[in-house]
Amino acid sequence: MKISRTISVTALFFMLTWIYVIPTQAQPRTYTWQNTQRQYLLYEPSNRTGALPVMYFLHGLGDNITRCDNEMHFNNLAERYGWVIVVPQATNVSGYTMWNAGLGGNADDAGFLLALLDMLVEDGKVNPDSVFFTGFSMGGFMTHRMAIEHGDRITACAPVSGLISFAFANEVPIEPVRMMHIHGTADNVVGWNGGSAYFGTIGISVDSVVSFWTGWNNCDTTPEVDTLPDRVDDRLRFIRYTYNGDAEFQLLKVVGGAHNWYLDSTTHDIDYFDEIHKFFIGNASTLGFKEPETDPLKLDIWPNPTTGIIHVQASEPTTLTMYDSMGRAVMQNKFTPGITRINMCNLPRGLYVMIDNNGASHKILHTGERK
Q: 45 and 75 in contact (C-beta within 8 Å)?
A: no
Mean pLDDT of the chain: 85
Q: 168 and 148 in contact (C-beta within 8 Å)?
A: yes
Q: Please, which residues bridge with residue 335 across strands?
A: 318
* CATH hierarchy code of domain 7-281: 3.40.50.1820
Question: For 173-196, how does the pLDDT look when each residue is reduced to its tens digit (9 = 90+)?
Answer: 999 999 999 999 999 999 999 999
| Residue 21: how many other CB atoms lie within 10 Å | 9
**206 CB contacts (<8 Å, ≥6 apart)?**
163, 181, 183, 192, 193, 194, 251
- Give the CA distances from residue 61 to residues 26, 42, 49, 196, 257, in Å, rounded to whole numbers and listed in that order: 21, 21, 35, 14, 19
* CATH hierarchy code of domain 299-366: 2.60.40.3080
Instruction: Provide the 3-class DSSP secondary structure of residue 140.
Output: helix
Where are the domains positioned within the chain?
A: 7-281, 299-366
Question: For 82-125, how does the pLDDT look when each residue is reduced to its tens digit (9 = 90+)?
Answer: 999 999 999 998 888 999 999 988 999 999 999 999 999 999 99
| Residue 289: how many other CB atoms lie within 10 Å | 11
Residue 59 has what pLDDT?
A: 97
Residue 299 has what pLDDT?
A: 74
Beta strand extents in 169-327 (DSSP E only): 178-184, 195-196, 200-201, 224-227, 237-243, 249-255, 299-302, 309-314, 318-323
- Assess whether pLDDT exceeds 80 at residue 60: yes
Phi, psi of 193 (to 5 degrees): -90, 5
- Assess whether pLDDT exceeds 60 at residue 347: yes
Q: 265 and 274 in contact (C-beta within 8 Å)?
A: yes
Query: Which range (43-52, 69-78, 155-164, 179-188) has the least confidence?
Result: 43-52
Query: In this prediction, what percent of the chain has a pLDDT beyond 90?
Result: 59
Classify strands 126-136 and 156-160 as parallel, antiparallel or unpaired: parallel
Question: For 10-56, how does the pLDDT look when each residue is reduced to its tens digit (9 = 90+)?
Answer: 333 433 333 233 333 467 999 999 999 999 999 999 877 788 999 99
Residue 297 has what pLDDT?
A: 59
- Assess whether pLDDT exceeds 80 at residue 7: no
Residue 234 has what pLDDT?
A: 86
Number of H helices and E strands in the chain, helices first, is: 8, 21
Question: What CA–CA distance (Å, rounded) separates 213 from 297?
Answer: 37
Residue 84 has what pLDDT?
A: 95
Question: For 300-327, how does the pLDDT look when each residue is reduced to its tens digit (9 = 90+)?
Answer: 788 888 888 888 887 788 888 888 766 6
Question: What CA–CA distance (Å, rounded) separates 82 from 339?
Answer: 12
Question: For 201-242, how does the pLDDT look when each residue is reduced to its tens digit (9 = 90+)?
Answer: 999 999 999 999 999 999 999 999 999 888 888 899 999 999
Q: How far apart are the first and last CA of the chain?
A: 34
Residue 263 has what pLDDT?
A: 86
Question: What CA–CA distance (Å, rounded) separates 341 from 126?
Answer: 13
- Assess whether pLDDT exceeds 70 at residue 65: yes
- Assess whether pLDDT exceeds 90 at residue 261: yes
